[in-house]
Amino acid sequence: MKIFNAITLAFCAAVIGICSCDKGTNLIDENNKWVYLDSANSANLKIVQVFAGNTPQVPTAPNLTTGPQIFIYANGAKLNGTSLGYGSAWPTPNVYANIPAGSTKFEILNGRIDLTVVPNIPKYIAGDTLGTMTATLDKGKYYTLYVGDTVPTVRMTLKEDVLPVPDYQMYKIRVANFSMNNNPTDTFNLFSTRQNAEIITDVTHKSVSNWVQLPLPILSDTLLLRKKGTTTVFAQVNGFAPTGQRMYTIIGRGKTGVTAKTPAAAIIINR
């Protein structure tokens, strides 16, 4: 039985040159063929876009966006087909993708598209590169790349996901704090109304807590993300009904007063 869901993503044999003003020919989009990686020598990656600002953006039609819609490259290879907007994930919220292990340069670019050709392809201009980061991904390990910081700065934060199996009739939960409110130093605690207690504490901005193992609730729970030292609720998850031996990340995201990007708590399943 496979423990993890994973998708093997296609990578072009030719490396696509990266520059701030011209990406050149996008061979992945043109050829669109599958090349299956050796999973024993690859890493596993999930990307979550939690940047809640309306700038930077592509300001002109037909590419007009509200906030960044991004393409992500790893060592010159374009990862996502459709650009990632706020609240979306690649390949999906509950799946990891295989990418080559080793030293990896990640780049995020505004999702500017040339709509005059079919199929549509990226069409970058100077200034479309929003951020870069280099990290080493070890083969066989699992990672989540969070895209978000403070408005208007777009940065990436890479976290290794260590995924020990929960015990029978138990589940595991953790918190990722990517709030973009005016005070990015807010620290979160996670309160369970079913247990009437804080089950995770002291999660600082852009950090991810350790896993906490808990028994399956008989009835669904309501989880409250609260600012440390107060009962002020940043966001909540209603009707939380975990499944045995699964692992869940509660992501605190959003910014007060930003349309469609107000504070919220999202759930992703890591295993």
Look at residue 185 and tell me whether its pLDDT is greater than 80.
no
CA distance 248 to 110: 30
**Which residues in 89-141 belong to E strands, given as ranges?**
89-90, 96-100, 102-110, 113-114, 121-122, 129-137
Q: Other C-beta atoms within 10 Å of 115: how many?
A: 11
With bands split at pLDDT 50, 70 and 90, how would you rate the model's confidence at 28?
very low
CA distance 79 to 73: 6
Which tokens in the block code for residue 191?
A: 């309160």
pLDDT at residue 184 in the model: 63
pTM over 0.75: yes
DSSP 154: -
Q: What is the pLDDT of residues 61-87, one digit of tens each?
A: 555 556 778 899 999 999 998 888 899
pLDDT at residue 18 in the model: 36
Q: What is the pLDDT of residues 134-144, one digit of tens each?
A: 999 999 999 99
pLDDT at residue 204 in the model: 93
For residues 269 and 151, the model is more confident at 269
Domains within the chain, CATH numbers bracketed: 6-160 (2.60.40.1120), 170-269 (2.60.40)
With bands split at pLDDT 50, 70 and 90, how would you rate the model's confidence at 153?
confident
